[in-house]
Structure 1
């Protein structure tokens, strides 16, 4: 006697539903924090966006700071869509590509600009996140500029560490200007122009 194997169940279990709910909360929190900042955006604002009570929201994220960190990590996951850098891709092209990609993802630049600036205020839960992020970025770009120096492609007198910190500062600053006047500021173009000042052509 043979039996026909049962078709796999298509029902979503409790874990899947919980994961979906967490994602919807993080997406809503991203919108709230990008528009109002961490201080100005409340858990109630987030709960209202997803149509649930604040008490129910706290079941998924026990505190507002837990939710903030989830949003920041989600933001990095989303912008990771512009990565990774291909080994054959130049530093200049990789930076420009990432900048252009970020422009296409609604809210991620706003979120970064607002929360990064706000993180230096007293007792902000995002301070460690942004401090570690800057340290990681400086190390990464320092390695990239140092490799260019070893290849003889960094202009004379350019210090890899200073170039790395300057690139990050320019990127953050040009993002703010782009947010204020997106039609007037070419963010990726400004980044390319800076890099072409310090990096010699192949």
Structure 2
């Protein structure tokens, strides 16, 4: 319920009263479990991440298998509008001063860039892609494509196939980005 309300209204306009009402609790009841609206937001974001981690399984795929996992994530996200909306709204809001999820999203993007860069480095080591690939720039571009596709999909789901577009972008980036060589 909180996830849906944060996704629909953003953090600032989401009210604890509405969240409590939809959960069948009082505001005091919600605060008993989460101490504050910002703690509730953090728990909602952690739940989103836990869902994605559970989908990944016990071990992160290596190299190009991890990039295929990203395509699979885009495919799953096309069936999870609420989670996609939550992430999109809150990540955009988090760039504002003093937003309670700003440190969460900074850490999340740093971690995601690290995971994608590590997978790209593994793909180079495994001979799956050429070693001259600019790993940091490619990781940033892959993440940017995925986030941009989510916004487009939320605005017009029939016009955007997130999985196919993610796969096409990753393939194009791996083939054509100039490297450091």
1:34 maps to: 7
Q: TM-score, normalised by structure 2?
A: 0.87
Shift of 1:134: 0.5
Any unmatched runs of 5+ in structure 1? 1-27
Larger Rg: 1
**Equivalences, count:** 173
Structure-1-length-normalised TM-score: 0.79
Pick from 29, 34, 37: which aligns with 1:64?
37
Q: Does 1:136 align with 2:111?
A: yes
2:91 aligned with 1:116: yes
* Structure 1 residues 88 and 140: alpha-carbon distance in aligned structure 2, compared to 1, 3 A threshold: closer
Q: Deviation digits for residues 71-130 of structure 1, max 9, x if unmatched? A: 000111123343134459723421111111122234110000000000111111100100
- Within 5 Å, give how 1:107-186 maps onto structure 2: 107-155=82-130, 158-186=133-161
CA RMSD of aligned residues (A): 1.9
**What is the match of residue 93 of structure 1?**
68
- SS of residue paired to 2:158: coil
CA distance in 2 between counterparts of 1:164 and 1:55 reads: 43
1:194 matched to 2:169: yes
- 1:23 is aligned to none
Task: Measure, in 1, the Cα distance between the counterparts of 2:31 and 2:84.
Answer: 27
> Which one has more relative contact order, counting CA pairs under 8 Å at least 6 apart?
2
Distance in structure 1 (CA, Å) of the matches to 2:29 and 2:122: 51
Q: Aligned residue for 2:27? A: 54
Q: Distance in 1 between matches of 2:78 and 2:46?
A: 18
Partners in 2 of 1:106 and 1:81 — Cα distance? 18
Paired with 2:114 and 2:169, the residues of 1 have a C-alpha distance of: 19
Structure richer in helix, relative to its length:
2
